Amino acid sequence: MKNLVFIIGHGRTASTAIVEICNLASNAKFYSEKTPKLCMESRLQYEGKTEISLSDIKKLKNDLYLESIKHDIVIGDKNPNYLLFVEDLFQLFECKFIFLYKKPIDVIQSCINAANYNSNRGRGVFFGSAEDDQDSAITNKEDWWDYSRFRPKKDKDSEIYITWKQLSQIEKAAWSWNRFHEILIEKILLIPRNKRIVLDSNKLTVSKIRSVYKFCDIGGFDEKNVANHLNSKINSYVANAREIGNEFIASTEAKNLIQKHTKQTHEKFIDIILNER
């Protein structure tokens, strides 16, 4: 179904900006994590505790398809939780995918700044629930987004699984970034080239957005408007964290720790991006 587009990327990879810019189009409606958000389903699927079937996914997301048919427009939705259901979505809807990538150091700094700002306002945690921190009393049900983030599996990742609660927030975030992108690479390669586009969020330009419009079959591209949106730093938390005196800037030690967990996968992703050109 050419009128459906799913945007998949780790949190803090400019997916909100892509949604807002695509919503400037004359024949499109793009959502940011349209309900149901699949947080619980994604976690259960990841842990192998249940098998989410094709019929389950169709029930959960068929409203997007029906909306595209009813209004004859391109419908899009962004959500990192779609990652584990890429094949199902493609089989059901023959949809297109925008896959997003951003350097791990930039993602993790942004995630921690967002967490610092949001926690100051009583909005969720970032690897700070009881399953991550032995001193925390926060349960998964209090923050489904944090619950859906990838963590080590007891059977597959036994060494880090045992020491998980003793790791720093930075190391947990780096490990989780790596697991997400290991899976993301596998999923990208399952989708035909004409049904996918891979964007480097560190290098979003007006020209690149023009290629997104063309890929999605959406019209009304306005170069000046797009440029203004790109320059507005949509959904950026750095200034917010700085405002409350809690901005996180990774030290050399932190950067080395991030690289320890992400270097190999980061290099594989760069190869994919280069080959997509």
What local confidence, expressed as pLDDT, does residue 225 receive?
96
Of the listed ranges 16-20, 35-39, 131-135, 219-223, the least confidently predicted one is 131-135
The separation between CA 76 and the C-alpha centre of its own chain, rounded to angstroms, equals 14
Cβ-contact 187, 88 below 8 angstroms: no
Domain limits for position 53: 4-276
Residue-wise pLDDT tens digits, 118-151: 776 666 789 989 999 988 888 776 788 999 999 9
pLDDT at 69 over 70: yes
What local confidence, expressed as pLDDT, does residue 77 receive?
98
Band of pLDDT at residue 265, cut at 50, 70 and 90:
very high
pLDDT at 264 over 80: yes
- C-alpha distance from residue 51 to each of 54, 99, 155, 182, 213 (Å): 10, 24, 18, 21, 35
Beta strands in the chain (DSSP E): 4-8, 28-32, 74-78, 96-101, 196-200
Mean per-residue pLDDT, 157-184:
96
Tokens of 8: 């998949």
pLDDT at 241 over 90: no
pLDDT at 24 over 90: yes
pLDDT at 165 over 80: yes
pLDDT at 85 over 90: yes
Tokens of 11: 């949190």
Cα distance between residue 55 and residue 35, in whole Å: 17
Mean pLDDT, the chain, rounded, equals 92
User: What pTM value is reported for the model?
Assistant: 0.95
The DSSP result for 85-106, as a single string, is GHHHHHHHH--EEEEEE--HHH
Mean per-residue pLDDT, 262-276:
91
Cα distance between residue 170 and residue 275, in whole Å: 30
- Residue 260's domain is classified under what CATH number? 3.40.50
DSSP H helices, 78-154, are: 86-93, 104-120, 144-147
- C-alpha distance from residue 73 to each of 33, 65, 262 (Å): 18, 10, 39
Band of pLDDT at residue 116, cut at 50, 70 and 90:
confident
Instruction: State whether the Cα torsion 61-88-73-212 is positive or negative.
Output: positive
Cα distance between residue 149 and residue 128, in whole Å: 11
**Structural domain count, the chain:** 1
Of the listed ranges 34-48, 71-85, 129-143, the least confidently predicted one is 129-143
Of the listed ranges 85-94, 230-239, 257-266, the least confidently predicted one is 230-239
